[in-house]
Amino acid sequence: MSIYIVFFILLFLLAILNPQGTVVKHLIIVLLALLCGLRVDLGADYESYKNIYDSIDIIHVDIENFFLIEPLFLFIAYIVKVFGGSHHFFLFFLSFIGLEAFYASTRLLKIKNFYLGVFIYFSLFYFQFHFNVIRHGLMCSLVWLGYFFYVSGNRRKGYIYILMGGLIQYLGIICFFLKDLLQRVFKPKFIIISLVSAFVASKIGIVSGIVSLSTIIPIIGPKISYYINVYDTIEVGVSSTLIIYSLLFLFLRYYLMRSDYENKLYLRFILNALFLSVFLGILLNNYYVFVERITSFLNLSLVFIIPMIYEKYKVNLSRVFIFYIIVFSYTVILFSLALETPMPLDHTKLQYSPYKSIVD
């Protein structure tokens, strides 16, 4: 656990100092990717990814398997194996791609404090996206990069990166159509009605009925049934986190960035993602596994919006001090909770700690 704390403190100090130049930025990316790649038996899906990689036959390629498991993910695994890489290098490489995609997004958005963004990312998403649901995390990074190319006017590159995300994890294909919703201007009345309706629908059984019916759908039905009946389910409820996100969205949308929301497409994507995360979190509050996958993609918007808030207020020293106190307090709480995450089917073990690596 001590190595995690070292990274946490290092990234926070870099966020405050914000050194210029690209060398340190890429070094941080490599170190975070190494932290992922060198680990042993950490993360709920570690054995699954190891077994998938070890089962790949570079001589007799199983074409059918390329479509049962997302093809671009398997293609990357195949290339790494052809060159003799171990599953550790494979995990390192996937992590490296995801972090570089995140860095490219910050450059497209002209975020001046990359380290603040990566500090938020490390505290809120790193363990989940790089130690656990790795395909999902890589998909999120690629699709968001595609979104930012799309809103910057380079739609061809945008479509390519969104498609790449979809071929890493099929959920990314849905995100291609989600972009049309994210660029809309939502009025206050619509937002309030939507949140209230989501709360009512979750309480009177409409959602649970739909989810139960979905278990009879061919192919995906058994998997849905497994997640809601066998896999560890947790009722998230309308938690304090959702309430905080709701207030944050409303504050940003109607006070801090009102005119920017309507005039800047990239900001509309980010703030609307936060709104949809709250909406779906309330709607699906009884089905944690669905909330976690869908909202984690949308909540990645926090990594981009928080550095933007900093840029807006950094001219005032007292506000900067208050800003960092709030950010540090919030990230310490979530970082601590992440380290205490239990294994899904065995609560006696933790997913991410203590840290074990191949060099131990």
In terms of residue numbers, what domain contains 292?
Answer: 183-314
CA distances, 86 to each of 79, 91, 112, 115 (Å): 11, 9, 36, 30
Which amino acid, 17? L
- Let me know whether 81 and 41 are in one domain: yes
- Let me know whether 19 and 160 are in one domain: yes
Are 90 and 77 within 8 A, CB to CB?
A: yes
Residue with tokens 């969205």: 249
Residue with tokens 């690209």: 22
Reference 167, options 70, 90, 75; nearest CA is: 70
- Let me know whether 188 and 224 are in one domain: yes
pLDDT for the residue numbered 23: 92
- Let me know whether 46 and 4 are in one domain: yes
pLDDT for the residue numbered 139: 96
Gap between the Cα atoms of 140 and 125, Å rounded? 11
- Three-state secondary structure of 23-72: HHHHHHHHHHHHHHHCECCCCCCHHHHHHHHHCCCCCCCCHHHHHHCCHH
pLDDT for the residue numbered 220: 58
Burial profile 193-210: b = 16 or more Cβ within 10 angstroms, e = fewer: ebbeebeebbeeeebbee
Are 42 and 352 within 8 A, CB to CB?
A: yes
- The predicted-structure confidence for 156-205, as pLDDT tens digits, reads as follows 999 999 999 999 998 888 888 899 999 999 887 888 898 888 888 877 76
- Let me know whether 238 and 304 are in one domain: yes
* φ, ψ (nearest 5 deg) of residue 21: 100, 155
* Three-state secondary structure call for residue 152: coil
Reference 106, options 74, 73, 145; nearest CA is: 145
Torsion of CA 226, 230, 232, 237, to 10 degrees: 70
- Let me know whether 57 and 98 are in one domain: yes
Which segments of the chain have a pLDDT < 70? 1, 58-69, 205, 207-216, 218-256, 286-291, 345-347
- Let me know whether 142 and 187 are in one domain: no
Are 292 and 125 within 8 A, CB to CB?
A: no
* Three-state secondary structure call for residue 349: strand
- Let me know whether 224 and 195 are in one domain: yes
Gap between the Cα atoms of 125 and 127, Å rounded? 6
* Three-state secondary structure call for residue 148: helix
pLDDT for the residue numbered 188: 78
pLDDT for the residue numbered 28: 97
> Bridge-partner residues for 343, per DSSP?
346
Burial profile 146-170: b = 16 or more Cβ within 10 angstroms, e = fewer: bbbbbbeeeeebbeebbbbbbbbbe
Token pair in block for residue 72: 């671009």
- Let me know whether 144 and 217 are in one domain: no
Q: Which residues contact 320 (CB under 8 A, 6 or more apart)?
A: 310, 313, 314
- Let me know whether 97 and 202 are in one domain: no
The Cβ of residue 125 has, within 10 Å, a number of other Cβ atoms equal to 22
Q: Output the pTM of the full model.
A: 0.88
pLDDT for the residue numbered 234: 44
Q: Which residues contact 193 (CB under 8 A, 6 or more apart)?
A: none
Reference 26, options 137, 100, 98; nearest CA is: 100
Domain count, the chain: 2
pLDDT for the residue numbered 250: 65
- Let me know whether 15 and 164 are in one domain: yes
> Bridge-partner residues for 72, per DSSP?
none
- Let me know whether 308 and 320 are in one domain: no
